[in-house]
Structure 1
Amino acid sequence: MKLIKLAVFLFLFPAVFGIKWLSISTLKSTFLEPSDCPTSKEQKKTLGFVQHQSELCRRMIELMPFVKSAADETVSSCLETFKEHRWNCSSLLKAPNFDSDLTKGTKEQAYVYALSSAAVVHQIAKACSSGSIDFCQCGKGGTLILNKTNENDLPPMDENYQWQGCSDNVEYGLSASQEWADAPWHSKVRLSRDLTGGFLDQIEIYEMEKERHTNEKKPPNFDGKKIAMNQQNNNVGRQTIAKNSNMLEHAANDERDLTKAEIKIFDRPAI
């Protein structure tokens, strides 16, 4: 995928705190209650959470099983993609205590940022589509009208019958990814339960991010240059999902096609 390849070559820097949350991929259990979220400094360090992620976990606990799935998908996709390469992505299994290949501003690190950000969009959008999140509606999808007798000569369908497919809610997935993956440089939780289905194109994503980071109060340890690079890599992952959202919508009710879509989204960079 060109966007992912572009990210790993252009946006390289040493800050790594934004992907430490991938350590939850090693957990055998998931987050079911707000009390499952880390509160103490030691708990947050163990899970690789920053304060904003801990707050989001408690306030939006319904999303956490799918954030966990995103961590699982990031690790499994990366391992599968690079299994025949010298760098085989095994460092992700050490999260949150990464080796230098994921802490020194490498192209591998930039790729993992983009991949993990995309995985959050992907998992939450699919959860919306399946009805697993009560407050998250379907994305935009067409309505198929069935008004003809089928080829097996069964009784004809009611001419007024309509079947409404439920496509992935990419917009809510994008918003959730912005809150979660960009959490280290956020000052407060912005995500709510009242977003409706829809679609953001790449220009809208860029403008929303620009406005957010222009107006938002910066945390005390804010490092503008490193944050900008982290932000860009996360945006690349989200833009990749947005670009492929039409393909995902058509595949929403076909597991085989959805698998193909995932492979196409998480194409490997030239590393």
Structure 2
Amino acid sequence: MELVWLYMVLIPVQHVLAVTWLYLAKQSSLRGALQDPGDCKGLRGLVEEQVRICQRQVEAMDAVKHAAELAIEECQHQFHARRWNCSTLQGLQVFGKVTIQGTRESAFIHAIAAAGVAFAVTQACSHGELEDCGCDRKIRGVSAEGFQWSGCSDNLSYGIAFSQAFVDNPERSRGISSSRALMNLHNNEAGRKAILSHMKVECKCHGVSGSCEVRTCWKVMPPFREVGNVLKEKFEGATEVHPKWVGSRKLLVPKSSRFKPYTVHDLIYLLASPDFCDWDPRHGVFGTSGRQCNRTSPAMDGCELLCCGRGFRSAHTEVVERCGCKFRWCCSVTCKQCRHLVEVHSCR
């Protein structure tokens, strides 16, 4: 979903640059477009060090673009029924000011974006698309369960290292005195940990008539949808923090002693979120007026919560669906088109 940004908003430069690389998702395919390292300077949204990484590893940029697409798509899937639904803008700041406000929404964006780069680059390694990496051959020998480690394990360590170098750089350039940088770096790492902690084992049986006398196994990443599900749960249980100096180090600690201590797997945020109910371009909030809602749901997608108590309008609309499908030998399926009226509800 695209919204046209009609307002000029002044935002501190050091905050704006954090995830502007997501703008790669809105640029045409990079495959074949980057013939020379010098072409990297023409990519919008990259900070200086990211341009240098592009120049050193031009072939990886198609994976980075795919990562941006994955992150945006997953964000919109996870939040499609909430007041903030990851609507994207036309400018470099793809999600608008939400990404720089230090809220739990910003925490999720940073986590899913960092995870996206680790995931897409690792996938490119496994597919043989990058010269600098391939499968992870470090896992060898016999496991405690008795199977033989072999095959092409996903080289997640390479993908994580690339993500740390590429995604974290705008934050590290701010210096450790920035609370927002500390927050974003923590959430970036939590995003990558969501993949690492959910790696799966796949196996192949060997033996007479598939007897599975011997199994060879390898490690693979979880589907990215599973990563999104994990981070959405972390979003729901995110910890509000505030800065505290411990000696010469600045740390982010839970704002209240009643809050649980957070781990490297959890998301953290500095500021409470706005309610996202009303159009407020100054703060990058588009409101929920006109959004479709579920009249019978008590959850966030329900008309009462999604419409913020303003009420809703109901209307009937015609829906065309495939129906009466039949399989014809061989080998096709033919269907009819059925039309029926459905009632839809939208927020006032």
Counterpart AA for 2:26: T
1:68 aligned onto 2:65: yes
1:36 aligned onto 2:39: yes
Deviation at 1:100, TM superposition (A): 2.7
Structure 1 unaligned residues grouped into runs of 5+: 1-13, 145-161, 187-218, 252-257
Please list, as runs of the form range in 1=range in 2, the aligned pairs for 1:119-198 lying within 5 A after superposition. 119-139=116-136, 140=138, 164-186=150-172
Give the aligned partner of residue 118 of structure 1: 115
- Spell out, residue by residue over 1:151-183, the C-alpha distance to the aligned partner (whole angstroms, 9 max, x if none): xxxxxxxxxxx9942121010001000000011
Give the aligned partner of residue 84 of structure 1: 81
8 A contact 1:53–1:180 mirrored in 2 = yes
CA 1:87 to 1:185, structure 2 compared with 1: closer, same or farther past 3 Å? closer
Give the aligned partner of residue 244 of structure 1: 198
Distance 2:139 2:149 in 1: 11
Give the aligned partner of residue 49 of structure 2: 52
Give the aligned partner of residue 208 of structure 1: none
Distance 1:69 1:244 in 2: 21
8 A contact 1:141–1:166 mirrored in 2 = no
Please tell me the root mean square deviation across aligned C-alpha atoms, in Å: 2.9
Give the aligned partner of residue 262 of structure 1: 224
Length-normalised TM-score, structure 2: 0.50
Length-normalised TM-score, structure 1: 0.63
Give the aligned partner of residue 6 of structure 1: none
Greater length-normalized contact order (CA 8 Å, ≥ 6 residues apart): 1
Counterpart AA for 1:238: R
Counterpart AA for 1:48: G
CA 1:97 to 1:166, structure 2 compared with 1: closer, same or farther past 3 Å? closer
CA 1:88 to 1:112, structure 2 compared with 1: closer, same or farther past 3 Å? same
Picking from 222, 225, 244, the partner of 2:175 is 222
CA 1:116 to 1:52, structure 2 compared with 1: closer, same or farther past 3 Å? same
- Spell out, residue by residue over 1:12-37, the C-alpha distance to the aligned partner (whole angstroms, 9 max, x if none): xx934221110000011215332321
Counterpart AA for 2:108: Y
- Spell out, residue by residue over 1:62-105, the C-alpha distance to the aligned partner (whole angstroms, 9 max, x if none): 21110111001001111111112221101366442643322221
- Spell out, residue by residue over 1:207-240, the C-alpha distance to the aligned partner (whole angstroms, 9 max, x if none): xxxxxxxxxxxx5x53623321121111111111
Distance 1:62 1:18 in 2: 23
CA 1:97 to 1:136, structure 2 compared with 1: closer, same or farther past 3 Å? closer
Counterpart AA for 1:32: L
1:231 aligned onto 2:185: yes
1:250 aligns to what SS in structure 2?
A: strand
8 A contact 2:115–2:192 mirrored in 1 = yes
Deviation at 1:265, TM superposition (A): 1.1
CA 1:92 to 1:238, structure 2 compared with 1: closer, same or farther past 3 Å? farther
CA 1:98 to 1:76, structure 2 compared with 1: closer, same or farther past 3 Å? closer
Distance 2:222 2:56 in 1: 34
Counterpart AA for 1:169: N
CA 1:167 to 1:60, structure 2 compared with 1: closer, same or farther past 3 Å? same
Distance 1:61 1:68 in 2: 12
8 A contact 2:40–2:51 mirrored in 1 = yes
Distance 2:55 2:26 in 1: 20
CA 1:66 to 1:120, structure 2 compared with 1: closer, same or farther past 3 Å? same
Larger proportion of helix: 1
